[in-house]
Amino acid sequence: MWLDRLVEWQAQGIPCAIVTIIDAQGFTPRKTGAKMVVTEDGRSAGSVGGGTSEQQCIELAAKAIAHRTCLMQRFVSPVEGGEWMAEDRPLGACGGTMTVFIEPIVPEPELVIFGAGHIGQCLARLCAVMEMSYRVYDDRPGILIPDRFPGAGALVCAPFDRISENIELTAMSYCVIMTYGHDHDEVVLEQLLPCKEIPYIGMVGSPNKARVLIENIRGCGGEIDERLYCPVGLSIGRNQPQEIALSILTEVVLLCRGGNLSHLRRDWTST
């Protein structure tokens, strides 16, 4: 059961972690080899024993996913049938011990570029340099040329108003809208906003453009949430297409990796 759910979540791009009992001594509800799979928001399949120890495993799994690092934790039960607790001190006499290993399985993010113009092509080349997966969606067959998009996972030529019919988006799909017209941008945005699994929706444009599009969408009953980044990218004094592309990809990496926007430099003038 846990393996089926793991396959399902992986197909959806949902980060998760496998919790495995690697050692069990004395009285334990489950034995060595028992497994469960857990998502960052606490959904789970399989079991490593239930009760407080399993709940603690779910919490630890969320930390492992967030930090993209493996964890190992030992649990002890002072008496047979007693409450299990994480051991943070030398082990004394107890009813049983259980050690779990938690391995995060976090799919790598991908960029989905809606619009294959100058900025889209620059962004694609940067993705190739960064070895970041990306796909491109545009309705112009003459511009979707493989040589312009090195290493693209897919070049999708289809109408902008039929996204769901032509491309599958997951929880690791970071989407950027940069089509060749405001009307097309609005059509794409209207379709992406209801896809709640998408973590990021960036859109090229000025604050005035964003205001107009948002008013139009709200006027049609649509909802805007914090996933929308418009104007997209970081403020790096950008101007040229390649600079705009750099600011966009930097923003995506910052959000994916949980970084913070600050200089690494130290003040050497006072040392």
Q: State the average pLDDT over residues 16-24.
A: 95
Among the candidates 64, 79, 105, a domain finishes at 105
Q: Are residues 149 and 233 in the same domain?
A: yes
Number of H helices, E strands in the chain: 7, 12
Please confirm whether the linkage preceding 231 is cis (ω < 30° from 0): yes
Please tell me the predicted confidence (pLDDT) of residue 90.
Answer: 37
Of residues 157 and 75, which shows the higher confidence score? 157
Question: pLDDT, tens digit, for every residue of 225-264?
Answer: 999 999 999 998 878 999 999 999 999 999 988 788 888 8
Residue 75 lies in a domain: yes
Please tell me the predicted confidence (pLDDT) of residue 93.
Answer: 44
**Tokens, residue 198:** 């998408």
Count of structural domains, the chain: 2
State the burial class of residue 218 (Cβ atoms within 10 Å of its Cβ: 0-12, 13-18, 19+).
exposed
Q: Are residues 86 and 123 in the same domain?
A: no
- Mean pLDDT score of the chain, rounded to an integer? 90
Q: Are residues 95 and 141 in the same domain?
A: no
Please tell me the predicted confidence (pLDDT) of residue 173.
Answer: 96
Confidence of residue 35 (pLDDT cuts 50, 70, 90): very high
Q: Give the helix/strand (H/E) hosting 253.
A: helix 241-257
**Tokens, residue 215:** 């008013």
Distance CA 25, CA 98 (A): 6
Among the candidates 55, 70, 105, a domain finishes at 105
Q: Are residues 204 and 162 in the same domain?
A: yes
Please tell me the predicted confidence (pLDDT) of residue 86.
Answer: 67
Please tell me the predicted confidence (pLDDT) of residue 79.
Answer: 53
Lowest mean pLDDT among 93-97, 135-139, 190-194, 239-243: 93-97
Residue 61 lies in a domain: yes
Confidence of residue 92 (pLDDT cuts 50, 70, 90): very low
Residue 129 lies in a domain: yes
DSSP secondary structure string for all residues of 232-243: -S--S---SHHH
Residue 43 lies in a domain: yes
3-state helix, strand, coil in the chain (%, to 5): 35, 25, 45
Q: What percent of the chain has pLDDT over 90?
A: 69
Please tell me the predicted confidence (pLDDT) of residue 259.
Answer: 81
Q: Are residues 100 and 136 in the same domain?
A: no
> Which contacts of 52-57 are long-range, i.e. CB under 8 A and separated by 24 or more positions?
52/83, 52/84, 52/85, 53/84, 53/85, 53/98, 56/84, 56/85, 56/86, 57/19, 57/100, 57/102
Q: Strand 173-177: give its sheet, edge to edge.
A: 154-157, 133-138, 110-114, 173-177, 200-203, 228-229
Side-chain-facing half-sphere of 235: CA atoms under 13 Å: 2
Give me the phi and psi of 180, to 5 degrees please. -95, 20
Residue 263 lies in a domain: no
Beta partners for 157?
Answer: 138
Please tell me the predicted confidence (pLDDT) of residue 256.
Answer: 87
Please tell me the predicted confidence (pLDDT) of residue 237.
Answer: 87
Q: Are residues 54 and 95 in the same domain?
A: yes
Please tell me the predicted confidence (pLDDT) of residue 95.
Answer: 65
**pLDDT of 145 above 70:** yes
Among the candidates 105, 139, 173, a domain finishes at 105
Residue written as token pair 């003459």: 142
Q: Are residues 117 and 100 in the same domain?
A: no
Residue 264 lies in a domain: no
Residue 70 lies in a domain: yes
Q: Are residues 134 and 99 in the same domain?
A: no
Q: Which amino acid appears at position 43 of this protein?
A: R
The domain that contains 193 carries what CATH number?
Answer: 3.40.50.720
**pLDDT of 89 above 50:** no
Q: Give the helix/strand (H/E) hosting 228.
A: strand 228-229
Q: Are residues 22 and 62 in the same domain?
A: yes
Distance CA 32, CA 23 (A): 5
Best CA proximity match to 205, nearest among 226, 232, 175 = 232
- Residue 2 to residues 15, 48, 177, 270: CA-CA distances in angstroms? 14, 11, 37, 57
Of residues 140 and 1, which shows the higher confidence score? 140
Question: pLDDT, tens digit, for every residue of 164-192?
Answer: 999 999 999 999 999 999 999 999 999 99
Please tell me the predicted confidence (pLDDT) of residue 72.
Answer: 95
Note the maximum CA span of the chain: 74
Q: Are residues 66 and 133 in the same domain?
A: no
**pLDDT of 53 above 90:** no
Residue 269 lies in a domain: no
Q: Are residues 56 and 132 in the same domain?
A: no
Residue written as token pair 């959000």: 255
Can you give the residue range of the structural domain that contains 172? 110-257
Q: Are residues 98 and 191 in the same domain?
A: no
Please tell me the predicted confidence (pLDDT) of residue 83.
Answer: 56
